[in-house]
Every structure is written in structure tokens, then in C-alpha cells.
Amino acid sequence: MLLGSPELLKTGTRSVVVRAQVRGGPVPGVILKHFHDEPVCGFDDWAGTEFLTRRAPEQGPHFLAGDVDARLFVQEDLGRGRTLEELLRGEDERAAAGGVLSTARLTGQLHARTMGLQSEYELIRQALPPRHQRVRVENARYLLEHEGRLLRWLSALGAEAAPGTREDLETVARALADPGPFLAFTHGDLAPSNVLFTLEGPRLLDFEYAGMRHAMYDALMWLVTVPFPDELVSRADITYRIALSSQCEAAQVDSQWARARATVALARTVNLFQWLPPRVLEEDREWAPGLSERAALLHHLARCRALLAPVDGFPGLARTLQTLESRLSERWTVPPFVWPALQQVGH
């Protein structure tokens, strides 16, 4: 098998990604990933791709080969289809909305297919250079260890955390570390740019943050992190839930479903205040293409509040976030972000 016509797709401090044509091989093209820095992310990407190739080959690119010492692995090239982000930035409302729903369905199928397979995934991951702790434990520890960053926001706004905030954070962290019936293989960075629509259907790309964790971690894309019209969020939530429910009885119980969504929404909203410093009070910057940091914070707070509404629990943390939302809404007037292709949805 000979490689020809290399095309540099990505270069940076963490990794180099190259596309190459294949002459006389079983596939027309391959993607080569070399990770020179942050090897944990590189080997998580490798393990996730290899695991899905074995257990859910229709979900992403197939793993072909790898060299641990060279920090290099090779996967199938899925081609040059359009990403979900490109659909959302286009002009076809139907294609964009359909793309969101297809992504929700694909994600639910991924989680349903991989429930109960944590031991098989761990065998693949442990055969590679190890990570210090499981990704779900890492997420839980981060939430608790950086509580001070949330408190700094409150202090900067002349407010205090409500009684019970720490206890609620601990409850959320325990659910992240031990998701119980919601434990599944997750992509970990499900963004519109990481969903590719090919001739065979949607496929997931780039598994650098993949691992076994709370399934709802991926559902955060439409529930909290990416602005979508409320009507489309509801449809995506139902689509995902139907797919997941085929293998997850807890997803069929309304009270458990609502609490699971609220739990991960709380974690992600607190995370955003841990990631962004209070300097945002004085200077707004871009958080994602077209979305400012202030807009992202207000969007997370509003979506988290909506997901907490049907849940009886987390009173301290909920009041703390309500205080933040009230104080920030008084300071900032931020126009809502709307994807170009979805200008008319929900209007």
C-alpha cells in the first residue's frame, strides 16, 4: 500500500493531522494523526476510534493501525462531506434542522450501543500509555477542586453563594463520577464541527475527549452549550431519548430523565464559570465563532434554569446560579445568537 498526495489538515502545539490518498489499498484515503504534545488526548482519540470500529463501526471513521512509540495512528478518511456547522451556517433551514435531529439520533444510538461495555473500552485504553484517572472521575474532581473560581465570580458581583451550594456541587460530582444506568461511551466534545454528513449518513469526528462517562454529557450540545431555538431543542431531546431508551430503562422514566439532564446542565454551567475568569465583566471576547463569552454565560444560565424547573433538588446551587443570572442580566444586554440557517425556526 502506497500513500500519495498528502494534504495538511491541521497543525498545532498538540497534533498534526494529514490526509493522504492510498494507491492499491483497501480504502481510497486515510487520515494520519500524530500527537506530539498532550499524549493523553491523543491516546484517548486512538482508543475511542478503535473501540467504535469494533462496537459501532457506523458511528465514525474506522481505526486502521497505530504506532505507540511514534504517537501516530491511522484511520479511514470519511471524505469531504459537510459538517453540521456548515449546514447551520448555510441557507437551507430544513437541512440544518434535520442535521441537528440526525446528530441527536446518532448520539442516542451510540450511547445505547455502548452501555455495559465499559470493561471492553478500558481494555483498549489500558493497552495504550495510561491516563492517571478515568475521564468521568477527572470531570468530577475538576468541578469540586475549582469551586473557588465560581465563588470569585460571586465576589466580583457583590454576592455570596447560597447555603447548600457546596453540598449540591458534591451531589453533582458524585453523579458525574458514577452515572449508574446512564454510563456509556461518549464523544466528549460533541460540537457541530465534529459531525460530518457523508453519503452513508452522519459520522462523528475527533475523539480526543472521549471516554466512558454520563451519557448526557454529549446531549449537552443541544441542551445547553450550542444555541438552538427552543422548539428544535425539544425535538432533539425527544429524538435522543427515543434512541437511548432502547437500552436504558432509566431514560424511560420521566423523573430520572429530568434529573439526569439537570445534573449535567448544572455541571457544565458551573464549568463555564470555572473556565472563564471574571475579567469578562470588563471585556467581552469571542467564546466560539459568532458567540461571545457574555452571550455564552447568559445562554448557559437560562438553559440550566429551564432544565432545573421540573426537578426537585439542588436548591442551593440553583439559587446561586439564579443570583449570577440576575446580576449579569442587569449588567449586560446581549442579542441572542441565531444560526443563519435557523433564522425562521421558532419565529
Specify the 3-state DSSP secondary structure of 244: helix
For 140-167, what is the mean pLDDT? Answer: 98
Has domain 2-76 been given CATH number 3.30.200.20? yes
What secondary structure letter does DSSP report for 92? -
Domain layout of the chain by residue ranges: 2-76, 82-338
Amino acid letter for position 209: Y
- pLDDT, tens digit, for every residue of 318-346? 999 999 999 999 999 998 899 999 987 65
Q: Based on C-alpha coordinates, what's the Rg of the chain?
A: 20
What pLDDT, on the 0 to 100 scale, is given for residue 347? 45
Q: What distances in angstroms separate CA 344 from CA 184, 218, 238, 244, 347, one per listed residue? A: 35, 26, 21, 29, 5
Q: Which residues contact 129 (CB under 8 A, 6 or more apart)?
A: 39, 43, 68
What pLDDT, on the 0 to 100 scale, is given for residue 80? 85
Report how far residue 129's alpha carbon sits from residue 273's, in angstroms, rounded to the nearest whole number.
32
Q: In the numeric block, which cell numbers belong to residue 41? A: 488526548
- pLDDT, tens digit, for every residue of 203-233? 999 999 999 999 999 999 999 999 999 999 9
Residue whose grid cell is 441527536: 104
Q: In the numeric block, which cell numbers belong to residue 33? A: 494523526
- pLDDT, tens digit, for every residue of 69-119? 999 999 999 988 999 999 999 999 999 999 999 999 999 999 999 999 999
Q: For residue 317, is pLDDT > 70?
A: yes
- pLDDT, tens digit, for every residue of 160-200? 999 999 999 999 999 999 999 999 999 999 999 999 999 88
- pLDDT, tens digit, for every residue of 49-58? 999 999 999 9
Instruction: Give the DSSP H or E segment for 288.
Output: strand 286-288
Per-residue pLDDT band for 11 (boundaries 50, 70, 90) equals confident
Q: For residue 304, is pLDDT > 50?
A: yes
Work out the burial of residue 136: count CB atoms within 10 Å of its CB; fewer than 13 is exposed, 13-18 middle, 19 or more buried: buried
- Shared fold status for 2-76 and 82-338: no
Report how far residue 216's alpha carbon sits from residue 118's, in angstroms, rounded to the nearest whole number.
16
Q: In the numeric block, which cell numbers belong to residue 331? A: 449588567
Q: For residue 3, is pLDDT > 60?
A: yes
- pLDDT, tens digit, for every residue of 225-281? 999 999 999 999 999 999 999 999 999 999 999 999 999 999 999 999 999 999 999
What pLDDT, on the 0 to 100 scale, is given for residue 7? 87
82-338 folds as: Aminoglycoside 3'-phosphotransferase; Chain: A, domain 2 (3.90.1200)
Please list, residue by residue across 15-34, b when 16 or more beta carbons sit within 10 angstroms of its beta carbon and e when fewer do: bebbbbbbeeeeeebbbbbe
For 110-135, what is the mean pLDDT? Answer: 95
Q: For residue 307, is pLDDT > 90?
A: yes
What pLDDT, on the 0 to 100 scale, is given for residue 28? 77
Please list, residue by residue across 194-228, b when 16 or more beta carbons sit within 10 angstroms of its beta carbon and e when fewer do: bbbbeeeebbbbbbbbbbbbbbbbbbbbbbbbbbb
Q: Which residues contact 234 (CB under 8 A, 6 or more apart)?
A: none
What pLDDT, on the 0 to 100 scale, is given for residue 21? 86
Q: Which residues pair with 15 in a beta bridge?
A: 35
Give the closest residue to 213 by CA, choosing from 262, 178, 170: 178
For 19-27, what is the mean pLDDT? Answer: 78
